[in-house]
């Protein structure tokens, strides 16, 4: 009952309001602000936690401190925000600047010193208040495309310094810098029968409802004839002036007979809540059709603080001779609003469209621990790993374990175990539990004890034992052996692995560790020349790349370089 109780505690008729400082923070860029991503936008497995500012399709724009403060955190990672700087401000807030190309000279020197101190590219640093103070308007970095960025832009966010909760930057006055007079767009309205015996328009399956645009800009859906209980879902997006990006919504609120029924508003939330996006979405349609339907009801409540609802959690129990006036309001931050009216009536007519739920021998109850075992393979599912109960596809055949498919959302790790005593110790060192998609194998981190292989994963689908005995590949890009490279600014190589994936890499110049930055999007590692590490004349380079099961490749070459000008 944990989820239900938490959900009830969050059930409130109105959204809370906090007075955030409107004029304290300035823009981190000196160009007109244009968004490619909004706060709360629906992303893969998470809500977007800031604003994505376009940087004119290029890297290297000045990034400025939004207010006085000090650099309190620096994180350099291959994925996620890539190169990110965090500034703590004296008024209780922290600003975050992500996907950077590099930091300003003072901060970059601090970062570089720590790269060499720890001899690794990925680092996380927590400078003290006196180490890297900054003033409002001071250049702290240059915009880039690092980490999990799909193109050059600046990720910018606010956090409450104490709780670390991200906060919508629009609440700090950034709405005044981004013109928005456009209405949100509603693309899809869905009706969901709730419960095995409920039907909508004589269907036991969810149905898409036709929408008619009215003269006042609102929509009216086709009539919804319900026998039993029903919930609704909507797909919509927002747009800003001078911008064609389809961004996320700020607020969605439904009303039943004039009373608030189910809604959410993207002011703030906690990072550990973010994966509940998969409970909010119609996850099946997202995976199968690529459509993000936001469900305005919950059959199995979940603890997402954004949601405000009543005791029915957005579900409508349609009774004979009772009128139900249902309304959905979709709004952006500037209160540009679209209204959808849904006429609901009771219908005693029996359904003609059967349910598409495929019943199996296994029915998983999300609130319980579950264990499934066949032959030498098993899966243990802790309680609340999944959001909803469902019929599970589980089987073991031809040394392959099938544990459902990706159409169901997973919240926490479950455990896959395979026992096999036919391998030698040397063979087991190169083995792991792999996910199998068609003929493609992908790595799952695996623990091995005696003859037992164990993996903790959120990946559904097929699993097999796999062996990786092939070492990673290293290819030079601009390092022809024995050549003079005096006019080059860097060394580039590509690194890849065909199965278990790259775990680590290291580069050495003349026997000393040197920094190679890794861009996973291009599989390229790059070292920018530094006179401190370059010898006059001959230089010997060594690069070692290791995959996740310990296979290593060593690349060695030499080149010549003159530092004389």
From first to last of its 565 residues, the chain has per-residue pLDDT tens of 344 444 443 444 455 578 999 999 999 999 999 999 999 999 999 999 999 999 999 999 999 999 999 999 999 999 999 999 999 999 999 999 999 999 999 999 999 999 999 999 999 999 999 999 999 999 999 999 999 999 999 999 999 999 999 999 999 999 999 999 999 999 999 999 999 899 999 999 999 999 999 999 999 999 999 999 999 999 999 999 988 899 999 999 999 999 999 999 999 999 999 999 999 999 999 999 999 999 999 999 999 999 999 999 999 999 998 889 999 999 999 999 999 999 999 999 999 999 999 999 999 999 999 999 999 999 999 999 999 999 999 999 999 999 999 999 999 999 999 999 999 999 999 999 999 999 999 999 999 999 999 999 999 999 999 999 999 999 999 999 999 999 999 999 999 999 999 999 999 999 999 999 999 999 999 999 988 899 999 999 999 999 999 999 999 999 999 987 6
In whole angstroms, what is the distance from residue 24 CA to residue 169 CA?
12
List the one residue out of 389, 343, 345, 387 whose CA is nearest residue 363: 389
**277 membership: H or E segment, kind and range:** helix 277-280
By three-state DSSP, how is residue 22 classified?
A: coil
Instruction: Compute the Cα dihedral for 375, 377, 378, 379 and give only its sign.
Output: negative
CA distances from 142 to 71, 73, 104, 115, 382 (A): 15, 17, 7, 19, 45
Per-residue pLDDT at 565? 66
542 φ, ψ (degrees, to nearest 5): -135, 130
Residue 356, Ramachandran bin (φ over 0: left; ψ between -120 and 50: alpha; else beta): alpha
Q: What are the pLDDT digits (tens) for 293-329? A: 999 999 999 999 999 999 999 999 999 988 899 999 9
CA–CA gap between residue 544 and residue 122 (Å, rounded): 16
Q: pLDDT by residue (tens digit) across 327-376?
A: 999 999 999 999 999 999 999 999 999 999 999 999 999 999 999 999 99
What pLDDT is attached to residue 5? 42
- Containing 287, the helix (H) or strand (E) segment is helix 283-289
Contacts of 135 (CB under 8 A, 6+ apart): 65, 68
Q: Which pLDDT does position 531 carry in this prediction? A: 86
Give the dihedral of Cα atoms 249, 250, 255, 260; nearest 10 deg. Answer: 150
Residue 98 bridge partners (DSSP)? 155
Say whether 93 sits in a helix, a strand or coil: strand
Confidence (pTM):
0.94
**Close Cβ partners of 178 (under 8 Å, ≥ 6 residues apart):** 33, 34, 35, 170, 240
Measuring CA to CA, which residue among 106, 251, 235 is closest to residue 170? 251
213 Cα distance to chain centroid: 34
Q: Report yes or no: 64 and 30 within 8 Å, Cβ to Cβ.
A: yes
Sign of CA dihedral 86, 89, 91, 92: positive
Length of the chain: 565
* pLDDT of 16: 53
Contact call for residues 466 and 437 (beta carbons, < 8 A): no
pLDDT of residue 14: 52
Distance CA 325, CA 341 (A): 8
In degrees rounded to 5, what are phi and psi of residue 385? Answer: -70, -35
pLDDT at 430: 97
Residue 492 bridge partners (DSSP):
526
Question: What's the token pair of residue 459?
Answer: 């990946």
Which residue from 165, 146, 166 is spatially nearest to 156, judged by alpha carbons?
A: 166
């Amino acid at each position: 009952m944990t989820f239900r109780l938490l959900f009830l505690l969050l059930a409130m008729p109105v959204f809370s309001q906090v007075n955030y400082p409107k004029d304290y923070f300035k823009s981190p860029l000196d160009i007109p602000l244009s968004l490619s991503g909004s706060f709360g936008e629906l992303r893969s497995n998470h809500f977007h936690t800031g604003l994505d500012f376009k940087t004119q399709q290029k890297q290297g724009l000045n990034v400025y401190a939004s207010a006085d403060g000090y650099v309190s955190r620096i994180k350099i990672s291959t994925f996620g925000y890539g190169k990110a700087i965090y500034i703590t401000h004296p008024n209780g807030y922290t600003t975050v600047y992500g996907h950077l190309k590099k930091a300003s000279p003072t901060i970059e020197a601090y970062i570089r010193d720590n790269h060499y101190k720890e001899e690794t590219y990925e680092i996380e640093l927590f400078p003290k208040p006196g180490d890297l103070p900054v003033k409002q308007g001071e250049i702290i970095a240059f915009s880039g495309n690092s980490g999990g960025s799909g193109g050059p832009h600046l990720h910018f966010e606010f956090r409450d310094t104490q709780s670390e909760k991200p906060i919508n930057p629009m609440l700090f006055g950034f709405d005044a810098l981004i013109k928005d007079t456009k209405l949100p767009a509603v693309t899809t309205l869905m009706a969901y029968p709730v419960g095995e015996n409920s039907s909508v328009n004589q269907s036991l399956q969810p149905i898409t409802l036709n929408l008619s645009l009215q003269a006042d800009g609102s929509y009216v859906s086709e009539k919804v004839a319900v026998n039993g209980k029903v919930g609704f879902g909507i797909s919509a997006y927002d747009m800003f002036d001078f911008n064609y990006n389809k961004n996320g919504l700020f607020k969605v609120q439904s009303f039943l007979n004039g009373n608030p029924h189910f809604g959410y508003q993207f002011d703030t939330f906690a990072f550990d809540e973010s994966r509940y996006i998969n409970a909010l979405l119609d996850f099946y349609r997202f995976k199968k059709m690529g459509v993000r339907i936001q469900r305005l009801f919950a059959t199995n409540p979940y603890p997402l603080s954004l949601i405000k609802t009543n005791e029915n959690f957005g579900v409508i129990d349609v009774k004979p001779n009772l009128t139900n006036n249902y309304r959905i309001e979709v709004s952006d931050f500037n209160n540009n609003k679209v209204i959808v009216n849904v006429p609901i009536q009771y219908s005693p007519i029996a359904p003609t469209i059967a349910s598409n739920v495929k019943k199996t021998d296994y029915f998983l109850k999300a609130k319980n621990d579950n264990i499934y075992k066949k032959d030498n393979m098993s899966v243990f599912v802790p309680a609340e790993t999944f959001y909803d109960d469902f019929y599970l596809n589980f089987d073991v055949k031809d040394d392959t374990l099938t544990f459902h498919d990706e159409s169901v959302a997973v919240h926490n790790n479950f455990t896959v175990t395979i026992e096999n005593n036919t391998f030698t110790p040397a063979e087991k060192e190169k083995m792991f539990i792999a996910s199998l998609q068609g003929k493609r194998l992908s790595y799952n981190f695996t623990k091995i004890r005696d003859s037992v292989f164990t993996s903790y994963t959120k990946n559904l689908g097929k699993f097999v034992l796999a062996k990786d005995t092939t070492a990673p590949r290293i290819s030079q890009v601009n390092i022809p052996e024995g050549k003079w490279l005096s006019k080059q600014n860097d060394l580039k190589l590509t690194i890849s692995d065909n199965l278990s994936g790259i775990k680590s890499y290291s580069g050495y110049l003349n026997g000393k560790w040197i920094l190679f930055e890794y861009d996973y999007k291009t599989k390229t590692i790059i070292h920018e020349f530094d006179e401190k590490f370059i010898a006059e004349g001959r230089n010997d380079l060594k690069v070692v790349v290791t995959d996740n099961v310990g296979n290593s490749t060593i690349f060695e070459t030499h080149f010549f370089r003159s530092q004389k000008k």
